[in-house]
Structure 1
Amino acid sequence: MELLIHDLQAIQNELDSRIFTLHDTTREKTRNDRILALLVETGELANETRCFKYWSLRAPSDNETVFEEFSDVLHFTLSLGIDIDFSDACIVYEKSSLILNDQFHQVYRLIQLFSTSNRKEDYRALFASILSLAYSLGMNNEVIRNMYLMKNQKNHQRQDDKY
């Protein structure tokens, strides 16, 4: 499977540029913050799936909540790719054979690897792993794109509202 991302990168760059201007900062100054944000948003996504909560009988959050949390992960992933001039038009990914819990561990490992290496091949592996996770959560490319666009609009509105 593959997800076209070229247009999403442009949309993310527009949001990033707006935020950097409004908050008088730069892409370079915020890189470590955005890496940490990606780690945190990945944790928030895991929390909504409840895949690790063996002690609880509560069901995972509804799909809309889970998918919106995934959109936050996607926003920061795209933003970090812009940092390294990642120019692939699409990301190829596969259905994962791992259980959800292990997929989250894999994503965390790949975030850490990319954060230290800053290499395009490590970014590509990270992005593919994130998309495989989305697939395991029941998302397809259309849902991923639509949720991203909806959340992007919400993020622009938040900037309008001085979030």
Structure 2
Amino acid sequence: MLTLSDLYEKQKELDARIIKEKGLEGVDLLPNTVLALQVEIAELANEWRGFKHWSNNREPRREVKCHACRGRGYFEFGADADKEHCMYCEGSGVQEKDPLLEEYVDCLHFFLSIARQLDLPEDDLYIPDDMVEGETVVLFTELLHNVGMINGHLFLYHEPENIRSHQREHFRGALACFYGLGEQRLGFTFEQIAEAYMAKNAVNHARQSNGY
């Protein structure tokens, strides 16, 4: 069974490959990674949809219809024509089975990458569930706030040796919100998260191989 430590090691391998192949040795990538995580959190919120009080459709998007057959699972070329099986979705009518989970694990990739850049031990990745309180909207806003505060340049008036402790503090606060969202609010099990992470990790390696 996969553990969080396994995922952390997989992320380190992916990061090392990207840094080597893109010639990024010695470059401070934390600001980019923090911004990337904020973007992914926003995309996760957009798939969740619960904050959209102006919309009649506020349910999470748990699947995306196939763009080719428009969710039917087959093609029909005339009133009397036989139905042709859709090869793009294999007849399921679904293009993506759970975009909400996919966005969540995209966030996890960047969380683990930030943990590596902050030289955090694996123990810092384990946050008790009882640290998380509040409604889903509050967790999203707290999450975005804490992630933004990870950037060390925000602590201009602190002693340099204290900057890392502030970064770690906000990282842990963000991670607590993130875990609370995943398991308590969005209903993901760790097994689902780990499986989806590994699948997306493989995609990310394939992208590097194909000149992404």
Partner SS for 1:71:
helix
Partner SS for 1:46:
helix
Distance of 1:107 and 1:52 partners within structure 2: 15
Provide the alpha-carbon RMSD of the alignment.
1.9
Partner SS for 2:122:
coil
Task: List alignment gaps of at least 5 residues for structure 1.
Answer: none
Alignment partner of 1:121 is 2:157: no
Give 1:38 deviation, angstroms. 0.5
Alignment partner of 1:41 is 2:40: yes
Amino acid at match of 1:145: A
Alignment partner of 1:110 is 2:156: no
Alignment partner of 1:69 is 2:103: yes
Contact 2:48 2:60 in 1 (8 A): yes
After superposition, the Cα gap between the structure-2 partners of 1:118 and 1:157, relative to the gap in structure 1 and judged at 3 Å, is same
Alignment partner of 1:92 is 2:127: yes
Choose which of 178, 188, 191 in structure 2 pairs with 1:130: 178
TM-score after normalising by structure 1: 0.89
Give 1:32 deviation, angstroms. 0.8
- Comparing 108-117 and 129-138, the one that deviates more: 108-117
Match of residue 72 from structure 2: none
Q: Which has the higher contact order (CA 8 A, sep 6+)?
A: 1
Amino acid at match of 2:147: I
Q: How many residues align?
A: 161
1:12-48 residue CA offsets vs partner (Å, 9 max, x unmatched)? 0100111111211137432111110000000000000
Contact 1:91 1:124 in 2 (8 A): no
How many percent identity over aligned positions?
A: 32
- Comparing 114-123 and 125-134, the one that deviates more: 114-123
Task: List alignment gaps of at least 5 residues for structure 2.
Answer: 64-97, 153-162
Match of residue 153 from structure 1: 202
Give 1:122 deviation, angstroms. 2.7
TM-score after normalising by structure 2: 0.70
Give 1:54 deviation, angstroms. 1.1
